[in-house]
Amino acid sequence: MNMIPKVAMFGTGYVGLVSGVCIADFGINVICVDVDKEKIDGLNNGKIPIYEPGLDVFLERNIKAGRIQFTTDAKMAIEESNVLFIAVGTPPKENGEADMQYVYAVAETIGQYMNGYKVIVDKSTVPVGTGQVVKKIIADKLKERGVEYSFDVVSNPEFLREGKALYDFTHPDRVVIGVESEEVAEIMKKVYRPLYINETPFVITNIETAEMIKYASNAFLATKITFINEIANLCEKVGANVQQVAMAMGRDGRIGPKFLHAGPGFGGSCFPKDTKALVQIAEKHGVQMSVVNAVIEANERQKKMVAEKLEKFAGDLKGKTIGILGLAFKPETDDVREAPALTIIADLIERGASIRAYDPQAMEEAKKALRKYADNITYCKHAYDTAESVDALVIVTEWHEFRNMDLTLLKKIMRGNIFYDARNIYSRKDIEEKGFVFIGTGV
Ligand code: UGA
């Protein structure tokens, strides 16, 4: 099929915005669509709703080149484009299942306004089998309208890390494309042409396999983190050092060094949601997902352990003040969804402590998420402000600016002497030399 791709991107959340901007940067015309008018107006005026390093530069140059536009007009976007990406949210429901209402609503809209052949690409993380549901929704809508247009559905999961999303989109380890025909795969290769000619591995497979690859990858990474977290807990008891264990394990090419950093548990919008959704999908099909189930449980325990360990070292936390450095679920993002800091702060307050907290980017988001505890939290201007008169200081997120703090100054302004480095970014020796009591994770 000799088709020049013109892309519509439904959803200007994290995935949609980054994907839309990066595809525009590949030289393709992209129309980003969202139902949120305020967001669209903001984007048309260069206002980016999320913090992601480099996104402003990419956005500006593609707006200047006239390759990207933002609209709430779904009809126009569908009529003007031939490759329609669905990149809307699939938030978890109470039972862990993915809430599919936004994906299905976009599919309906596409069926409603389709005016010729279209490729519909699912980029949202969706339960296995969604591609076929999307296909049916569109076919039913076309039937209702009494029109006949051919279309193809594709699964094209994303593997972006927040904070490194632009790099990940433009330098992927692989591009996964689930299709039902060779011709559609060729169209998708055109969308990703700069990567394709650069010899990025393309995994062309069926829709269900592509959908499964996403869940299996995220669940495996979450397992790797949880595994090293549990080893860290044991290291603490037996006098071993988890960083050296992880480094030596990682040298084994079969294991690999990445995602073996022990810490206060994984958070974010993906791992917690996707592990739970995978368990749900497996349950529906009568398949045991015992490893992933154990990962979910162990991760909850890991987050809880921070307050427990602190209590062990500091004694009763009632009336104590604890400084928390880092609220985002990881550095270089303002995202606090499922962030360990939220659980840790709630636990400490439940134990009677007051909190001083700071994050370089996530203060507003954290204030919203921790609204319930507002009376017990003082939001601070920087790390040293946070340390003012606290009994213990806890590094929860490893932002660069926390890596090289003036320890002498910290010691002077803190009331107590407990330095809890949950991310192992300092050495025990350096901290103890300054007269602190050091707590780490498995070191
Ligand atoms: C994750 C995956 O890494 C991406 O490949 C995937 O595309 C994305 O989810 C998604 O499904 O959209 P992300 O959630 O942005 O990306 O962040 P990660 O860098 O993977 O970190 C997740 C959590 O694990 C963070 O809380 C981080 O602190 C924690 N982590 C990570 C560790 O505790 N130890 C590690 O060694 C690595």
Kindly list the distances between the CA atom of residue 70 and the CA atoms of 112, 192, 318, 329, in Å, as whole numbers in the listed order.
Answer: 20, 21, 51, 29
Which among 274, 330, 343, 359 is the best mutation to test ligand 1's pocket, defined by most ligand atoms within 8 Å of the CB?
Answer: 330
Unique residue bearing structure tokens 């603490």 = 236
**What does the pLDDT read at residue 142?**
98
Do domains 6-205 and 219-439 share one topology? The answer is: yes
Q: What is the mean pLDDT of residues 144-171?
A: 96
Q: What is residue 153's predicted lDDT score, i.e. its pLDDT?
A: 98
The atom number, within ligand 1, closest to the CA of 222 reads 24
Is 262 annotated in a binding site? The answer is: yes
Cβ < 6 A, ligand 1 pocket: 125, 158-162, 218, 221, 225, 259-261, 263, 266-268, 270-271, 329-330
Which pTM was predicted?
0.94
* Residue 285 annotated as binding site: no
pLDDT digits (tens, 9 = 90+) for 361-380: 999 999 999 999 999 999 99
What pLDDT is attached to residue 134? 98
Token look-up 């993906």 returns 270
The predicted pLDDT at position 313 comes to 96
Atom of ligand 1 nearest to the CA of 340: 26
The alpha carbon of 264 and the centre of ligand 1 are apart by a number of angstroms equal to 13
Q: What is the pLDDT of residues 259-280, one digit of tens each?
A: 999 999 999 999 999 999 999 9
User: 3-state DSSP call for residue 323?
Assistant: strand
162 is in an annotated binding site: yes
260 in a labelled binding site: yes
pLDDT at residue 132, as a whole number: 96
**CA 271–ligand 1 middle distance (angstroms):** 7
Question: How far is the centre of ligand 1, averaged over its atoms, from the C-alpha of 168 (Å)?
Answer: 12
Q: Calculate Rg over the CA atoms of the chain.
A: 24
User: How many angstroms is it from 159 CA to the middle of ligand 1?
Assistant: 10
Q: Whose CA is nearest to atom 24 of ligand 1?
A: 266
What pLDDT score was predicted for residue 394? 98
State the pLDDT at residue 97.
Answer: 85
Name the band, by pLDDT with cuts 50, 70 and 90, for residue 2. confident
Q: Which of 245, 270, 342 to mutate to test the pocket of ligand 1 (most atoms within 8 A of CB)?
A: 270
Residue 268 is predicted with a pLDDT of 96
Instruction: Tell me the pLDDT tens digit for each residue of 210-262.
Output: 999 999 999 999 999 999 999 999 999 999 999 999 999 999 999 999 999 99
Which ligand 1 atom is the nearest neighbour of the CA of 338?
26
- pLDDT of 375-434, one tens digit each? 999 999 999 999 999 999 999 999 999 999 999 999 999 999 999 999 999 999 999 999
441 is in an annotated binding site: no
Cα–Cα separations (whole angstroms), residue 366 to 109, 330, 358, 359, 363: 34, 13, 9, 9, 5
Q: Per residue in 100-144, pLDDT tens?
A: 999 999 999 999 999 999 999 999 999 999 999 999 999 999 999
Pocket test for ligand 1, best of 173, 213, 221 (most atoms within 8 A of CB): 221
Distance separating the N- and C-terminal Cα atoms of the chain: 58
The domain ranges of the chain are 6-205, 219-439
431/80 Cα distance (integer angstroms): 60
- The annotation status of 161 as a binding-site residue, yes or no, is yes
pLDDT digits (tens, 9 = 90+) for 32-61: 999 999 999 999 888 999 999 999 999 999
Say which CATH topology domain 219-439 has: Rossmann fold (3.40.50)
Write the residue with the smallest CA distance to atom 23 of ligand 1: 266
Query: How high does pLDDT run on average in the chain?
Result: 96
Q: For residue 89, give the nearest of 363, 380, 337 by alpha carbon.
A: 337
Distance 357 CA to ligand 1 centre (A): 23
pLDDT at residue number 297: 98
What pLDDT does residue 45 have? 85
**Nearest alpha carbon to residue 345 among 355, 337, 330:** 355
Residue 48 to residue 201: CA distance in whole angstroms: 31
pLDDT tens per residue across span 298-335? 999 999 999 999 999 999 999 999 999 999 999 999 99
Catalytic residue selected from 22, 32, 235, 270: 270
- The sheet carrying 392-395 orders its strands as 377-379, 354-358, 321-325, 392-395, 418-421, 437-439
Residue 27 labeled ligand binder = no
Q: Which atom of ligand 1 is nearest to the CA of 159?
A: 7
What is the fold of 6-205? Rossmann fold (3.40.50)
pLDDT value at residue 92? 86
* Distance of CA 165 from the midpoint of ligand 1 (Å): 11
Report pLDDT for 266.
98
The percent of residues above 90 in pLDDT, for the chain, comes to 95
Residue 270 annotated among the catalytic residues of the structure: yes
CB under 8 Å to 412, separation ≥6 — which residues?
A: none
Measured in residues, the chain has a length of 443
Give the mean model confidence (pLDDT) for residues 177-195.
96
Q: Give residue 199's pLDDT.
A: 87
DSSP for 275-316, written as a single string: HHHHHHHHHHTT---HHHHHHHHHHHHHHHHHHHHHHHHH--
Q: Whose CA is nearest to atom 6 of ligand 1?
A: 159
